[in-house]
């Protein structure tokens, strides 16, 4: 049986426990339905499933005996499933919600697990899922969609990990584990060419500097791909359509004569270069030091986004009539002339034609970091691990989210972040290995800056909300200590528990000029998190467990404020999750089933309530939130008859998230591999009063209720000597989401983001020596169109919303990858 090590440092005291799993009603039903009679007779010599070793509890353990819901994907798993980025991984994780964001959020995606997510890049908000690269915490949501380069393994821990991983792991933790240098003088080169002139180049070299003692591993990556969508010159397109009168007195900004389109630029393109150098020093059998330096530079185009209904409302109508019509002879509020009808095009121009200014639409990010890890066997049964790291990045991008040629809604953003981390872990055992203990201390310090300008033409023209410049600063200082114990009462029964004490200081400084005075908010607090579990080996094939655990996000303030009354505190969030599960290794270890049932008590749950606006006066210190979802302010308010002022409003109330998960892998016959996953979650808000700002209607989903995935591959021997051709098909499903007012019933299809199924395909050739391969892959095999983000089709009053937008899916893409290993 093959053993795969997910991560971890050498330790004489660490041991792999016996095969285990989790117990739940769902698991037992699944086991019964997938018994020996449910599969064809197994061929002689069919491969056993690999033993997977993880370090989710800071020591090496078989994944089947670790009482945590974990998905572990090897480098080969990621490759054959065409997963190049953390964003892609969410397709295969039960109850994961990883999504590309709307254009004004730049290089920041959404990452969520089990109904707990975060999508806003503002440093005032904390991530919901902790992301770690080689045990170094990535402290912000921006930059979390990391490329999966030269990994040994990826682990996704579902559920709160507040004791061993600390704050911001309410939904779980993602651990990227790089391959360590081995000094074996090996390497590989890889080239990929594909759709939209995609060209990826990768190179890896592993060699010895001092035989048996000092090893190095160097990785270099370059990725380039053109965009698959476009922003279009409006005047040119009107001429091409034979309706030049719709362009008023606007003229094309570029000479398109002799061309078959009116494209100004592309959307969705990506370019990045990255490098990593790892140095591994093995002093003796008890000491190992790993030093890593990495650098990434990326230059990405804006993501595709399209306008589905025209702009409107009092402010826009006034701006259109008073400024845009006199200057350009067109109105952007009267009809749908600025709706392209193609989800992959829009009429943005990343410019202000009134002022003669243009903006760079590319999102540029530079990231680098240094880290050092020391592993040392202090004694025969005590191991120490120390981690020290520094990371920093700066990023800037422009947005033009009104999707017209005019300066109606645009921003220019700069983000700067640096962080320091130090951690000490001590692990060991006692009482003849019956007691396993982990003791640790953690330190984290960060400084961040968020700068942005605004182009809110209609609001600025009204005089109620002038264009402003925001220059905000954030600091965090986090110190914590933790203890975790596992006691084996018998060979089959174990109990475990842990605690973590956290002391944290934060400052948020908001500087929005003109209009809002500099405001500083400081936070200081401490708390305890805990975890308790029991597990039992029912048989050599079945392991069950039950656990309870907590996690938290610290308090803050609403950062996206347009008036003084919108600056409101956000309380600390805490989740307590109760979970029961089972893990099965059946049919001579050719069928593996892992399941879990959970309930998360969220108190309070902080939720952004979409469609909220301010209708009271700009200087009102305590405005009332109005849920208009594209409608106009009611009579009797200061802004009656207008769409009101934007308000990033957050409600909070206790709630519960209930769910179930299943993962299945099987090698039923020789050369055949099958996998399947299923996730279900449902949020129930404790606030039952529909008039309360914290109320959330049961039909308004936090994330889609269901997600599923499945894959199958078979390796055909082609010459009798060992070379193979392996076709693979993967399927991914997500049920519908909702986009209506959170405090009102959401009905489909008007207030839903439709569900979708997509398929990926891959065919791989490996030669006899296994040192050369060629793979042809297609993602979104059947070119399924779906919306990643979509605004509601109706307002709260039942009308047509102004400026409805959508973010389309990526179309079908193909690639060919050739890999040579040395």
Q: Which among 105, 202, 107, 201 is positioned nearest to 608, based on CA atoms?
A: 105
- Residues 74-100 have a mean pLDDT of 87
Give the helix/strand (H/E) hosting 568: none
Question: Which of 268-282, 555-569, 772-786 has the least mean pLDDT?
Answer: 555-569
Q: What residues contact residue 377 under an 8 Å CB cut-off, 6+ apart?
A: 10, 11, 12, 13, 285, 286, 287, 383, 384
> Phi and psi dihedrals of 69, rounded to 5?
-80, 110
- Residues 625-648 have a mean pLDDT of 85
Residue 381 CB burial class (10 angstroms; 0-12, 13-18, ≥19): middle
Residue 274 tokens, joined: 């990255």
- Residues 440-448 have a mean pLDDT of 97
Residues in the chain: 822
Would the pLDDT of 484 be above 80?
A: yes
pTM for this model (two decimals): 0.88
Higher confidence at residue 287 or residue 568?
287
CA distance to 67, 488, 494, 535, per residue, from 491 (Å): 15, 7, 8, 11
pLDDT in the model for residue 571: 86
pLDDT in tens, 286-311: 999 999 999 999 999 999 999 999 99
> Phi and psi dihedrals of 655, rounded to 5?
-165, 175
Q: Which among 718, 769, 573 is positioned nearest to 657, based on CA atoms?
A: 573
Q: Which residues pair with 714 in a beta bridge?
A: 672
- Residues 42-60 have a mean pLDDT of 77
Question: Which of 16-20, 87-91, 440-444, 644-648 has the least mean pLDDT?
Answer: 16-20
Residue 760 tokens, joined: 């990926």
> Phi and psi dihedrals of 368, rounded to 5?
-150, 160
Higher confidence at residue 199 or residue 602?
199
- The distance between the two most distant Cα atoms of the chain, rounded to a whole number of Å, is 87
CA distance to 23, 24, 537, 585, 794, per residue, from 542 (Å): 8, 12, 6, 7, 51
Would the pLDDT of 657 be above 70?
A: yes
- Cα(156)–Cα(552) distance, rounded to whole angstroms? 18
Query: Could you tell me the pLDDT band of residue 691, with boundaries at 50, 70 and 90?
Result: confident
- Whether the CB-CB separation of 509 and 473 falls below 8 Å is answered with yes
Would you give the end-to-end CA distance of the chain in angstroms?
Answer: 26
> Phi and psi dihedrals of 745, rounded to 5?
-60, 135
pLDDT in the model for residue 563: 83
Percent of the chain with pLDDT over 90: 65
pLDDT in tens, 329-341: 999 999 999 999 9
Query: Could you tell me the pLDDT band of residue 263, with boundaries at 50, 70 and 90?
Result: very high
Phi-psi region of 455 (alpha: psi -120 to 50; beta: other; left: phi over 0): beta
- Cα(584)–Cα(151) distance, rounded to whole angstroms? 27
- Cα(326)–Cα(556) distance, rounded to whole angstroms? 45
Would the pLDDT of 543 be above 90?
A: yes
DSSP reduced 3-state for 25: helix
pLDDT in the model for residue 651: 79
Question: Which of 7-21, 70-84, 500-514, 675-689 has the least mean pLDDT?
Answer: 7-21
Q: Which residues pair with 70 in a beta bridge?
A: 157
- Cα(559)–Cα(567) distance, rounded to whole angstroms? 7
Q: What residues contact residue 732 under an 8 Å CB cut-off, 6+ apart?
A: 91, 92, 707, 708, 709, 757, 758, 759, 760
pLDDT in tens, 692-705: 878 888 999 989 99
Query: Could you tell me the pLDDT band of residue 33, with boundaries at 50, 70 and 90?
Result: very low
- Whether the CB-CB separation of 163 and 498 falls below 8 Å is answered with yes
- Residues 416-421 have a mean pLDDT of 97
- Cα(5)–Cα(182) distance, rounded to whole angstroms? 14
DSSP reduced 3-state for 152: strand
pLDDT in the model for residue 608: 75
pLDDT in tens, 96-126: 998 776 666 767 778 889 998 887 888 888 8
pLDDT in the model for residue 4: 36
Q: Which residues pair with 684 in a beta bridge?
A: 656
Query: Could you tell me the pLDDT band of residue 12, with boundaries at 50, 70 and 90?
Result: very low
User: What is the distance of C-alpha 521 from the center of its chain?
Assistant: 28
Handedness of CA 248, 254, 258, 259 (dihedral sign): negative
Q: What angle (nearest 5°) sits at the alpha carbon of residue 169, between those of residues 165 and 171?
A: 140
- Cα(350)–Cα(361) distance, rounded to whole angstroms? 6
Q: Which among 405, 238, 411, 265 is positioned nearest to 328, based on CA atoms?
A: 405
User: What is the distance of C-alpha 651 from the center of its chain?
Assistant: 23
**β-strands 172-178, 186-194 pairing:** unpaired
């Amino acid at each position: 049986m093959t053993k795969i090590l997910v991560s971890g440092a050498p330790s004489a005291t660490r041991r792999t426990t016996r095969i285990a799993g989790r117990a739940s009603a769902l698991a037992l039903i699944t086991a019964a339905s997938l018994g020996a009679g449910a599969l064809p007779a197994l061929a002689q010599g069919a491969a056993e499933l690999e033993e997977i070793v993880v370090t989710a509890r800071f020591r090496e353990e078989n994944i089947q005996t670790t009482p945590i819901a974990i998905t572990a994907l090897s480098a080969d798993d990621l490759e054959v499933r065409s997963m190049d980025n953390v964003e892609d991984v969410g397709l295969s994780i039960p109850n994961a919600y990883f999504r590309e964001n709307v254009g004004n959020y730049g290089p920041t995606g959404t990452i969520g697990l089990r109904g707990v997510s975060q999508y806003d890049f503002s440093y005032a908000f904390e991530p919901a899922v902790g992301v770690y690269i080689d045990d170094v915490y990535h402290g912000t949501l921006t930059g979390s969609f990391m490329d999966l380069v030269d990994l040994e393994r990826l682990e996704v821990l579902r559920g709160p990990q507040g004791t061993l991983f600390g704050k911001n792991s309410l939904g779980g933790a993602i651990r990227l584990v790089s391959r360590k240098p081995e000094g074996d003088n090996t390497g590989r080169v890889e080239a990929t060419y594909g759709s939209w002139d995609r060209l990826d180049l990768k190179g890896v070299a592993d060699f010895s500097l001092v035989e048996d003692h000092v090893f190095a591993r160097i990785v270099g990556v370059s990725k380039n791909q053109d965009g698959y969508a476009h922003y279009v010159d409006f005047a040119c397109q009107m001429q091409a359509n034979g309706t030049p009168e719709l362009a008023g007195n606007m003229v094309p900004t570029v000479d398109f004569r002799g061309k078959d389109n009116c494209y100004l630029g592309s959307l969705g393109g990506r370019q990045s270069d990255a490098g990593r150098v790892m140095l591994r020093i093995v002093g003796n059998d008890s000491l190992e030091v790993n030093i890593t330096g990495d650098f990434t530079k990326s230059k990405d185009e804006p993501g595709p986004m399209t306008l589905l209904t025209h702009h409107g409302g009092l402010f826009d109508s006034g701006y259109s009539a008073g400024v845009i019509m006199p200057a350009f002879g067109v109105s952007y509020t009267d009809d749908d002339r600025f709706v392209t009808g193609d989800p992959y095009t829009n009429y943005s121009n990343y410019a202000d034609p009134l002022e003669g200014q243009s903006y760079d639409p590319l999102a540029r990010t530079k990231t680098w970091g240094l880290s050092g890890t020391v592993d040392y066997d202090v004694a025969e049964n005590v191991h120490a691990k120390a981690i020290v790291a520094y990371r920093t990045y700066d990023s800037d991008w422009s947005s033009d989210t009104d999707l017209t040629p005019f300066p109606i809604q645009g921003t220019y953003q700069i983000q700067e972040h640096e962080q320091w981390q130090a951690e000490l872990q001590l692990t060991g055992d006692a009482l003849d290995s019956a007691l396993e203990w982990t003791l640790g201390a953690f330190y984290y310090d960060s400084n961040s800056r968020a700068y942005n300008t605004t182009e809110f033409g209609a609001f600025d023209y009204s005089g109620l909300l002038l264009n402003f410049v925001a220059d905000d600063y954030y600091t965090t200082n986090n110190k914590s200590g933790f203890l975790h114990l596992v006691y084996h009462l018998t060979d089959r029964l174990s109990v475990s528990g842990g605690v973590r004490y956290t002391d944290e200081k934060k400052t948020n400084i908001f500087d929005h000029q003109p209009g809002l005075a500099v405001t500083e908010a400081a936070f200081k607090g401490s708390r305890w998190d805990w975890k308790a579990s029991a597990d039992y080996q029912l048989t050599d094939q079945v392991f069950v467990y039950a656990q309870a655990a907590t996690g938290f996000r610290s308090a803050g303030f609403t950062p996206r404020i347009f008036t003084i009354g919108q600056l409101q505190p956000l309380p600390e969030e805490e989740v307590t999750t109760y979970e029961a599960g089972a893990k099965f290794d059946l049919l001579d270890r050719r069928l593996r089933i892992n399941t879990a049932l959970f309930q998360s008590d969220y108190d309070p749950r902080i939720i952004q309530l979409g469609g909220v606006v301010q209708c009271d006066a700009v200087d009102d210190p305590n405005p009332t939130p109005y849920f208009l979802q594209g409608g106009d302010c009611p009579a009797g308010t200061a802004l009656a008859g207008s769409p009101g002022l934007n308000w990033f409003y957050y409600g909070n109330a206790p709630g519960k998230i209930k769910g179930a998960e299943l993962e299945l892998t099987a090698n039923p016959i020789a050369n055949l591999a099958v996998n399947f996953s299923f996730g279900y979650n449902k949020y129930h808000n404790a606030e039952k009063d529909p008039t309360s700002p914290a109320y959330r209607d049961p039909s308004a989903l936090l994330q889609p209720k269901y997600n599923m995935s499945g894959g199958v591959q078979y390796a055909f021997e082609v010459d009798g000597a060992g070379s193979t051709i392996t076709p693979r098909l993967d399927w991914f499903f997500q049920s519908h989401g909702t986009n209506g007012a959170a405090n009102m019933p959401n009905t489909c299809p008007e207030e839903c983001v439709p569900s979708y199924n997509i398929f990926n395909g891959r065919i791989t050739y490996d030669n006899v020596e296994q040192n050369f391969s060629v793979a042809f892959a297609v993602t979104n095999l059947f070119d399924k169109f779906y919306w990643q983000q979509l605004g509601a089709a109706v307002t709260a009053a039942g009308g047509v919303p102004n400026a409805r937008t959508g973010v389309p899916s990526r179309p079908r893409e193909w690639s060919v990858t050739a890999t040579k290993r040395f």
